[in-house]
């Protein structure tokens, strides 16, 4: 029971870090307010990715991955907001912006984990683009999945998934 409740409290903590980090990154980089939908912990299982996703691996006190995932339309809106200009941004610029946001999000979680004596290192962002993509991770003890509404028109949602296991 002690182990289970300690795992639960670490998962609650990382859920809080995820929500804080998403809000921080949206506010700092996009001047958008992000509001989390109820949810969080879910059973580890295959999950659907949006058309544009960033992914970064963690190792150390927590080994796993974080995904930031959204539609093409939302990824383009983020690129326009950060890079300026109108129209449809170049796909490479869109990938760069999603990579940078994923990097900041992972960095936010990393520094919060390190502050709480769960030191982790992170890899670099990979961007995955396509339709109807499914992702899956094996041997994980937790999976947190959060959807965020954003203070822009269009009602597009940002999806963030963090999954892994503790050392």
For position 65 contacting its own copies by CB under 8 A, the verdict is yes
For the bound state, the minimum distance from the C-beta of residue 134 to its own copies, rounded and expressed in Å, comes to: 5
3-state secondary structure of 53: strand
Give the one residue of 24, 36, 93, 96 binding its own copies; rule: CB under 8 A. Answer: 96
Q: Which residues contact 125 (CB under 8 A, 6 or more apart)?
A: 54, 55, 56, 98, 99, 100, 102, 103, 106
Q: Do 36 and 146 meet the contact criterion of CB atoms below 8 Å apart?
A: yes
Name the strand (E) or helix (H) holding 69: strand 62-70
43 binds its own copies (CB under 8 A): no
**Which of residues 23 and 107 has its CB atom nearest to its own copies in the complex?**
107
Choose the binding region for its own copies from 10-18, 31-39, 63-71, 82-90 (rule: CB under 8 A). Answer: 63-71
Spatial neighbors of 128 by CB under 8 A, at least 6 apart, are 49, 52, 53, 54, 55
Q: Which stretch binds its own copies (CB under 8 A): 3-11, 74-82, 121-129, 149-157?
A: 121-129
Q: Binding segment for its own copies among 8-16, 29-37, 80-88, 96-104 (CB under 8 A)?
A: 96-104
Q: Which is nearer to its own copies, 43 or 139 (by Cβ)?
A: 139
Among 72, 100, 114, 166, binds its own copies (CB under 8 A): 100
Q: What are phi and psi of 152, to 5 degrees?
A: -130, 160
CA angle (119 as vertex; 159, 14 as ends), nearest 5: 35
> CB neighbours of 154 closer than 8 A, spacing ≥ 6?
73, 74, 77
Which CB atom, from 36 or from 96, has the smaller least distance to its own copies? 96
Q: Count of residues binding its own copies (CB under 8 A)?
A: 38
Residue 125 within binding range of its own copies, rule CB under 8 A: yes
CB of residue 30 to its own copies, shortest distance in Å: 18
């Amino acid at each position: 029971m002690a182990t289970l409740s300690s795992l639960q409290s670490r998962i609650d903590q990382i859920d809080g870090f995820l929500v804080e980090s998403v809000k921080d990154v949206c506010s700092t980089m996009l001047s958008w307010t992000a509001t989390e939908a109820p949810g969080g912990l879910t059973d580890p299982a295959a999950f659907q990715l949006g058309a544009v996703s960033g992914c970064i691996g963690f190792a150390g006190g927590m080994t796993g991955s974080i995904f930031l995932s959204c539609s093409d339309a939302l990824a383009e809106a983020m690129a326009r907001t950060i890079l300026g200009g109108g129209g449809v941004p170049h796909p490479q610029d869109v990938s760069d912006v999603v990579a940078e946001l994923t990097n900041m999000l992972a960095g936010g979680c990393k520094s919060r984990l390190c502050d709480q004596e769960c030191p982790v290192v992170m890899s670099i962002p990979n961007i995955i683009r396509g339709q109807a993509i499914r992702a899956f991770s094996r041997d994980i003890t937790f999976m947190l999945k959060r959807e965020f509404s954003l203070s822009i028109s269009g009602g597009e949602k940002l999806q963030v998934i963090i999954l892994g296991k503790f050392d």
